[in-house]
Amino acid sequence: MSASLWKELVTLDGTHFADHFAIAYLAVSIVAVVGILYALSSSSSKSICYKGNDASLRKKAYDLLILSMLFYLLAYTFQLIDIILNEQQVSIRLGYKFVSVFRDGCWQVADFVILTIACRVTYYQFPNWGAHKSFHATWRFFCEVFLTVLAALAIYRWALSTAYTTLTLNNVSSSGIQHFTRETEVLRAGYQILYMLVSTLILLLAVYYLYCRIGFSEKPDKLESGVNLLTIILWIRSVSRVGIVVKYTLLESVRPVYIEVAAEAAYGLPTVAIYIILNRLRKHNQNSAVQSDILRDGRRAARRELHRRRLDAKKGGPPLPTPAQLLTEIESKPLAYLPRQLQESVSSLTQDELQVILQQHVQEVLKFREKI
C-alpha cells in the first residue's frame, strides 16, 4: 500500500446528524452493542459439564459462541466509530477507509460461526427428538459440506473485497478494478443465498422433528421453544440479508436513504437475539437421548392408558384413579406407564439418572390425570 495513503487527508461525508436516518442508524447500532455486551456478560466463562451420550456434541456446539460474539462486538465498534466520524465530517487520513476491510472480516467470521453453531445444535438435538441414526449421519455430512463451501466463498470474497479496497485507495483506474467489483458482488450474493438455503433446511427439520415429538397436543418445553425460536430468527435474518444483497448489490438498484437502518433492524438486532437464545440453550443441561425417548414415549403411553381407563369407567368399569391413587400406583410400579421396549433402555442409565427421569415421568403422568 502506498505511503501516501497515510499522508493524504480527506473529509468524510456526513450531516452532523441532521438526517433522522443517521440518528436511527446510530441508535440501532448502539442497541446492538448493548445487546451483545449483555449476552457476553451473562455468558459464563466456566466450562459447563454436560452429561449423557450427546455431551461431546453439545460441548462442541457452544465452544465458538463467545468467539462469535467478540468478533461481532469488534465489528460494531468499528461501525460506531465510522458513523460518528462521518457525521462529524472529520478530516482523516485516506488510509482510514481500509478499516472497512477489517470490519467486514469481523462480520464475516461472526456470521459464519453463528450458522456453524446452529448446525451443531441440530447434531445433538434432532436425535433427541426422534431422528433416525442414518438420517442424522446424512444431515451432519451435508451440514459439513455446506459449511465448507460457505467458508470457501467467504474467504475468497473477502480477499477480492480487500484487493478492491486497496486498488481503489491507490487510485487505480475504474476499468482496472471493475472485474473485482462484479465478482465480489456475485460471491456475496452466492454466499447469502446458500446461507439462506441452509437456514431454511434447519428451520424445516426443526419444525418437523418437534412435531414428531409432541405433535400439536403438547406444549413445547423451554428447550424445545428455544431451539425453534432460534431457527425461526436465523431464517428471517438470512432471508432479509438475501433481499438486501441481491436487490441493492447484485441488481444495483438505487439504495434508499433508510437502507442502513433497515439492514440493522432486520439483520443486526436478530443477531443479538440469536446470541441471547444460544447463551440460554448453552446453560440448559438437558436430558440425554435415552432419557428424552423415555419421556416422549412415556407421555404417549400414559395418555393412551388414562384414556382407556376413562372409557372403561364410563362403561361401568373401575373408576378412574384419583391423582393420589395414581401416584401410589406409579410409586409401587414406576415402569407401568412406559412402553415395554423402553423398559429395556432403562438399564443403560445410572441409578441417579433413572431416579431423575422417573420423577419427571411421574409428574407428567399426574399432569395428564389432572386434565381429565
Residue 261 confidence (pLDDT): 84
Note the pLDDT of residue 100: 84
Q: What is the pLDDT of residue 72?
A: 93
Q: Compute how many other C-beta atoms are within 10 angstroms of the C-beta atom of residue 226.
A: 18
Ordered structural domains, the chain, with CATH: 3-286 (1.20.1070), 292-371 (no CATH)
The reported pLDDT for the residue numbered 286 is 61
Residues 6+ apart with CB under 8 A from 129: 209, 210, 212, 213, 292
Strand runs labelled E in the chain: 9-11, 91-93
More confident residue, 188 or 356: 188
d(CA 264, CA 262): 5
Q: Is the pLDDT of residue 354 over 80?
A: no
pLDDT digits (tens, 9 = 90+) for 139-179: 889 999 999 999 999 999 898 888 887 777 776 666 667 77
Residues of the chain with pLDDT > 90, as a percent, come to 22
Mean pLDDT, to the nearest integer, of 193-215? 88
Q: Above 60 in pLDDT, residue 222?
A: yes
pLDDT of residue 288: 62
Task: Residue 99: name the closest of 127, 80, 125 by CA.
Answer: 80
In the predicted model, what is the mean pLDDT of the chain?
A: 80
The residue-averaged pLDDT of 197-201 equals 95
Q: Which amino acid is at 65?
A: L
Q: What is the CA radius of gyration of the chain?
A: 27
- Work out the pLDDT band at 247, boundaries 50, 70, 90: confident
Distance in angstroms (rounded) separating the CA atoms of residues 72 and 103: 9
Which tens digit of pLDDT belongs to each residue from 262-321? Answer: 888 888 889 999 999 998 888 766 666 667 667 777 777 777 777 787 888 888 778 877
Distance (Å, rounded) from C-alpha 227 to C-alpha 50? 17
At 47 the pLDDT is 56
- Amino acid letter for position 331: E
